[in-house]
Amino acid sequence: MRDYEVTMEDLSYELEMMLEALLLSAGVKKDCLQKACDLYVENIDDVLENAKSQGAEGILEVVEFLKKNYKELFS
């Protein structure tokens, strides 16, 4: 088994790519992707504080929040 040294920069990059993929698969327009990512980060704490779900389902609640409140970002 290999030992992997993962840096914070590497993890940040991977998380950013995963967030972009999540938002694209949810229907965010490519030209709105950066704005959607920024809004996701800005709103995640407030949405999760009031969320009924946790974990992956909580993350999906944040996406639903964006769909409801920022319709112009979605196809």
Give yes or no for residue 1 having a pLDDT over 60. no
Question: In this predicted structure, what is the pLDDT of residue 71?
Answer: 98
Tell me the pLDDT band of 2, cut-offs 50, 70 and 90: low
Task: Decide: 47 and 65 in contact? Cβ < 8 Å.
Answer: yes
pLDDT tens digit sequence for 39-69: 999 999 999 998 888 899 999 999 999 999 9
**3-state SS assignment for residue 75:** coil
Rounded distance, CA 17 to CA 23, Å? 10
**59, 62, 63, 65 alpha-carbon torsion, rounded to 10°:** 160
What tokens were used for 38? 């920024």
Q: What is the pTM of this model?
A: 0.86
Phi, psi of 4, deg, nearest 5? -110, 130
Residue range 17-36, pLDDT digits in tens: 999 999 999 999 999 999 99
